[in-house]
Amino acid sequence: MTMTFPAIGKPSADQMAVKPNLDYEKTHGNFQWAEMYAELDWLPGGWLNKAHEAIDRHANGSRRDKVAMIWEGKNGEQETYTFGQMKTLTNRFANVLKSLGIQKGDRVFLFMDRLPELYIAFFGILKVGAIAGPLFSAFGPDPVKDRLQDSGAKVLITQPDLRRRITGIIPELFELEHIVVVNKDDRDPQPRDPADLDYVEEMAKASADFDIVETSQFDYSIMHYTSGTTGKPKGAVHRHQAAVQHYATGKWVLDLHEDDIYWCTADPGWVTGTSYGMMAPWTNGVTQLIYEGGFRASAWYEMIQKHKVTVWYTAPTAIRMLMRAGDEVPKRYDLSSLRYMNSVGEPLNPEAVVWGVTVFGMPFHDNWWQTETGAILCANYPGMEVRPGSMGRPIPGIELGIVDDDYQQVGPDVDGNLVVRPGWPSMFHTYWNNTEMYNSKFRGGWYVTGDRARVDKDGYFWFQGRADDVINTAGHLVGPFEVESALIEHPAVAEAGVIGKPDPIAMEVVKAFVALNEGFEATTELRNEITRFSREKLSAAIAPREIEFVSSLPKTRSGKIMRRLLKARELGLPEGDTSGLEEE
């Protein structure tokens, strides 16, 4: 089926100068994406805006009174918002920003917990044509300062406790003009800094009518800083057209249907929390649960039971923590509403997939993507046989490749660099203030992901590790993931992080840092037993030569094991940028 694109606003020369990469006809035969583009609503004149696609199109139609958001606060509060209400509230917030002089292209940042106002402000920002930058609320002052300075944000929306946390950095934010403070339900008793604006007061003054600013599909909409697993976080900038891929993957990969209750556990400070905690469910008109509270196994199961969650999207660290909490806890809850489960963010150990089947009667479906890719590119999607440990196959319209260091494609079952053919709709369009680094990611006609993987003869991709993490031991290339996955199959092992430690003979030897499950003691006998166990599973060449017991592994705030830090510590080297490091 051929279809022409809806009329589109022309991108400016400036926008196109960064990287010409959107020739769908050439790269994809203009087939799947054109069809999906036609399913978007678009704005009169061919403009495209994520807020219209996620909120207003439903508010203007038959889903006006359908619940968009069920919010459960950390103190058990509960609120619901229909698409119609979301439209009005986001209009109001767009008017607030307009009254503050915010214009198309300005950066407006969010630094707050998962409150309804975060979601309302986010879409208000998009409606005025500004670029939304969500920051994880667990950040301390320095990571916030770095990101606000780098982006040149003009407005910051935050909450009283977080506002106090960053008071010291405010004088260093030369481009910041306004701070809007959301004191949810007057939870915070302290008086506001008189220079700040109060969200409730501003909203009360603002009109409920707003004409969305004319944004083309090529205009910037969101910027997300990467997790900082491998180095300094980079501000990946995305465009309104990413909506089409959020919509498509919401259907194809998350398997969203009209009556689903969907729960994405990711925080909007990370790309999963916006692409899949806002865009995918809402472009599909699906009700979603937002839970303000943090991780606690029993609280999470309670959420599923109470709100009858049907589709669940979470991450390997969370799954490993649920596993650690034991199989008895889920038995206390009625989890029968669950129909489909997904995971992203790190490799999902086969053990975790199998655990899903044991405890929930269904596997976790692993999928792969990055901040830079904006949306899922590779997945175990419905109707497909799940191969535990594989990140699945490319979604329609996406070409993934495995190439050698000269960017030549290699055959099946050979390790190489994971690359993507540029031109997918949700592709990032630059790193903020770092075009050079952006350009360096495009080589030999591919976007180079920085991950290593292999593809089997059936087209399933198997993640091996980050390019920087791959270990070369006595001529064998070893992906840390494979070793970690074998280790956590041992009943005593909760988590493992594996690095290459320089060695005069073998070049590198495999070293594992292991955190134990409760009830196990870090003894020499146990270490020997785990070594034996891993040798049987992996062969002596690949199994860790050294095992060190640790109480926990260093992780990014988005929950990823930071192997570069394990390595730096092992070698006594500087730790590099740790702004994204979870507090230890």
Per CB under 6 A, which region of 56-64, 221-229, 422-430, 523-531 contacts ligand ATP?
221-229
The one-letter amino acid at 291? Y
What whole-number distance in Å separates Cα of residue 41 and Cα of residue 83? 15
Per CB under 6 A, which region of 37-45, 154-162, 224-232, 261-269 contacts ligand ATP?
224-232
Give the CB-nearest residue to Mg ion. Answer: 226
What whole-number distance in Å separates Cα of residue 414 and Cα of residue 341? 30
Name the residue nearer to ligand ATP (CB basis): 150 or 451: 451
Q: Does 229 bind ligand ATP (CB under 6 A)?
A: yes
Name the residue nearer to Mg ion (CB basis): 287 or 370: 370
Name the residue nearer to ligand ATP (CB basis): 92 or 441: 441
Q: Does 49 bind ligand ATP (CB under 6 A)?
A: no
What whole-number distance in Å separates Cα of residue 337 and Cα of residue 304? 8
Query: Between residue 511 and residue 570, which ones bind ligand ATP under the rule CB under 6 A?
Result: 558, 560
Question: Residue 55 phi/psi, 5° resolution?
Answer: -120, -65
Cα-based distances in Å from 175 to 151, 251, 451, 507: 9, 40, 36, 49
500 strand-pairing partners: 510
Q: What is the DSSP letter of 279?
A: I
Using alpha carbons only, what angle is made at residue 492 by residues 351 and 349, rounded to the nearest 5 degrees?
A: 20
Minimum CB separation of residue 192 from ligand ATP in Å reads 34
Beta sheet of 220-225, edge-to-edge order: 197-198, 178-181, 155-158, 107-111, 131-135, 220-225, 235-239, 430-431
Per residue, what are the HEC states of 308-335? CCCEEEECHHHHHHHHHHCCHHHHCCCC
Per CB under 6 A, which region of 105-113, 170-178, 223-231, 542-550 contacts ligand ATP?
223-231
Using the rule CB under 6 A, which residue among 254, 391, 471, 515 binds ligand ATP? Answer: 391
Exposed, middle or buried, 78 (CB in 10 Å: 0-12/13-18/19+)? exposed
Name the residue nearer to ligand ATP (CB basis): 146 or 366: 366
What whole-number distance in Å separates Cα of residue 243 and Cα of residue 40? 8
- 393: enclosing H helix or E strand: strand 393-394
Using the rule CB under 6 A, which residue among 366, 482, 484, 495 binds ligand ATP? Answer: 366
Using the rule CB under 6 A, which residue among 82, 90, 227, 310 binds ligand ATP? Answer: 227
Read out DSSP for 175-228? T--EEEE--GGG---SPPPTTSEEHHHHHHHS-S--PPP---TTSEEEEEE---
What whole-number distance in Å separates Cα of residue 262 and Cα of residue 340? 10
Per CB under 6 A, which region of 123-131, 297-305, 352-360, 366-374 contacts ligand ATP?
366-374
What whole-number distance in Å separates Cα of residue 185 and Cα of residue 565? 40
Cα-based distances in Å from 511 to 54, 483, 548: 47, 10, 8
Query: Between residue 209 and residue 248, which ones bind Mg ion under the rule CB under 5 A?
Result: 226
Minimum CB separation of residue 419 from Mg ion in Å reads 14
Using the rule CB under 6 A, which residue among 159, 217, 221, 371 binds ligand ATP? Answer: 371
What whole-number distance in Å separates Cα of residue 477 and Cα of residue 460? 20
What whole-number distance in Å separates Cα of residue 118 and Cα of residue 310? 24
Q: Does 215 bind ligand ATP (CB under 6 A)?
A: no
Residue 560 interaction partner, one of ligand ATP, Mg ion, none, beta carbon < 5-8 Å per kind: ligand ATP
Name the residue nearer to Mg ion (CB basis): 226 or 314: 226
Minimum CB separation of residue 489 from Mg ion in Å reads 27
Using the rule CB under 6 A, which residue among 73, 133, 228, 500 binds ligand ATP? Answer: 228
Using the rule CB under 6 A, which residue among 463, 513, 533, 549 binds ligand ATP? Answer: 463
Residue 563 interaction partner, one of ligand ATP, Mg ion, none, beta carbon < 5-8 Å per kind: none
Q: Does 233 bind ligand ATP (CB under 6 A)?
A: yes
Place of tokens 């809850």: 333
Minimum CB separation of residue 184 from ligand ATP in Å reads 28
Cα-based distances in Å from 25 to 48, 391, 427, 578: 20, 27, 16, 42
Cα-based distances in Å from 243 to 50, 54, 513: 6, 8, 40
Using the rule CB under 6 A, which residue among 82, 283, 370, 531 binds ligand ATP? Answer: 370
Minimum CB separation of residue 249 from ligand ATP in Å reads 13
Place of tokens 């840390």: 480
Residue 461 interaction partner, one of Mg ion, ligand ATP, none, beta carbon < 5-8 Å per kind: none
Using the rule CB under 6 A, which residue among 368, 381, 438, 462 binds ligand ATP? Answer: 368
Q: Does 454 bind ligand ATP (CB under 6 A)?
A: no
Exposed, middle or buried, 65 (CB in 10 Å: 0-12/13-18/19+)? exposed
Name the residue nearer to ligand ATP (CB basis): 167 or 439: 439
Q: Does 268 bind ligand ATP (CB under 6 A)?
A: no
Tokens of 503: 């060695």
Using the rule CB under 6 A, which residue among 82, 151, 226, 430 binds ligand ATP? Answer: 226
Name the residue nearer to ligand ATP (CB basis): 179 or 478: 478
Q: Does 438 bind ligand ATP (CB under 6 A)?
A: no
Listed as own residue / partner, the contacts of 407-412 with beta carbons closer than 8 Å and 24 or more positions apart are 407/443, 407/444, 407/445, 407/446, 407/448, 408/444, 412/454, 412/455, 412/456, 412/457
Residue 346 interaction partner, one of ligand ATP, Mg ion, none, beta carbon < 5-8 Å per kind: ligand ATP
Q: Does 390 bind ligand ATP (CB under 6 A)?
A: no
Query: Between residue 334 and residue 353, which ones bind ligand ATP under the rule CB under 6 A?
Result: 344-348
Residue 233 interaction partner, one of Mg ion, ligand ATP, none, beta carbon < 5-8 Å per kind: ligand ATP
Name the residue nearer to Mg ion (CB basis): 232 or 535: 232
Applying CB under 5 A, the residues found at the interface with Mg ion are: 226
Applying CB under 6 A, the residues found at the interface with ligand ATP are: 226-231, 233, 344-348, 366-368, 370-371, 391, 449, 451, 463, 466, 558, 560
